[in-house]
Amino acid sequence: MTDWDDLRVLLAISRRGSFLQAGQALGMAASTLSRRITRFEDEIGEPVVERSVEGLRLTARGAALAATAERLERDLQQQTVSRTGELSGGVTVTAGDGFVPVLTQAINRFIEMHPLCTVDLLVDATLTKVARGGVDIAVRTLHLGEPSLIYSKVASLSFGIYCATDYASRLPANAVPGDAAMIDLSPPFDQNAHLRSARSAGFISTRFRVSSFAAQLQACASGYGVAVLPDLLSAGLVKPFGHVDLPPMDVFLVARPQALRQPHLRAFFDVLRDTLHRAGAHADVPKEESI
């Protein structure tokens, strides 16, 4: 009979794609996981993992066993809820660095409500493959139209042109946008509609480029120039040119339908959706969206 601990290891490898990341999720050394998988393969008489320089892939048998493990995990979690009345289980969520303040707020709210749960936040601007189960929930600003995933629009973030008070004081009287040096974002961020709109308004002089919202915000707050920033990140900054009409950015929560059938993942999804909505929703975004 296949041991649940072996299936749990295989499921972690399926979701993370490497012994190292699976080990981090399980609190085990990568070498230990590798030995356990080798022993497991010896016991069942066939390989479950293909090893290559590009990482790990499950064989057909491995994929079938991982699917079984996922069903068992869901059943165990549901049994835990019915027995104790409290949710338990781990959540893995990913988002770009600009969402870290609101994500950590949501995580704190969730853990206070469900202290037996844990949350891993992966700060990554790349589009992690949610469909493969590498993460449970992703925060995205692009809708890729993936038919196997649920996209729930939760907010529409407004933007403005901001700078530090000190930088604003150094601008000439009656300054226009062309007088300011922009702290810009590297591609692909600079393809976003609000950045294109800012350039059309006259913000054409780039002081330097950075690859993250956190670095852009820090440079702006340090008085190095102006930046296009979400209003929710603008505390302590000023708008040197008043209101500039910039298009908003839609924010989506993305998950697999089967993930949201797990009570603890659904509970975290709802808390995160509510927190993001409070942080940046416009009137045209419903607080509760049917999914």
Contact 229, 163 (CB under 8 A): no
The pLDDT tens digits for 207-224 are 888 888 889 899 999 999
Of 54, 84, 114, the residue that ends a domain is 84
Q: What is the mean pLDDT of the chain?
A: 83
User: Within this chain, do residues 258 and 147 fall inside the same structural domain, yes or no?
Assistant: yes
User: Within this chain, do residues 227 and 102 fall inside the same structural domain, yes or no?
Assistant: no
The pLDDT tens digits for 100-156 are 888 999 999 999 999 989 999 988 766 666 766 678 899 988 888 888 889 999 888
The CATH number of residue 125's host domain is 3.40.190.10
User: Within this chain, do residues 58 and 22 fall inside the same structural domain, yes or no?
Assistant: yes
Q: Which segments of the chain does DSSP mark as H helices, in order?
A: 4-16, 19-26, 30-44, 60-84, 100-113, 165-170, 193-200, 213-221, 263-280
Range of the domain at 168: 159-247
What pLDDT does residue 1 have?
A: 43
Of 84, 106, 138, the residue that ends a domain is 84
Number of domains in the chain: 3
User: Within this chain, do residues 123 and 237 fall inside the same structural domain, yes or no?
Assistant: no
User: Within this chain, do residues 164 and 231 fall inside the same structural domain, yes or no?
Assistant: yes
User: Within this chain, do residues 209 and 239 fall inside the same structural domain, yes or no?
Assistant: yes
DSSP reduced 3-state for 222: coil
What pLDDT does residue 257 have?
A: 87
The CATH number of residue 26's host domain is 1.10.10.10
What pLDDT does residue 207 have?
A: 84
Q: Which is more confident, 195 or 126?
A: 195
Q: Which two tokens stand for residue 170?
A: 């150094």
Indicate if the pLDDT at residue 18 is higher than 50. Answer: yes
The pLDDT tens digits for 224-280 are 999 988 888 888 999 998 888 888 888 899 998 888 888 999 999 999 999 988 876
Q: How far apart are CA 95 and CA 167, in angstroms?
A: 30
User: Within this chain, do residues 290 and 147 fall inside the same structural domain, yes or no?
Assistant: yes
User: Within this chain, do residues 73 and 113 fall inside the same structural domain, yes or no?
Assistant: no
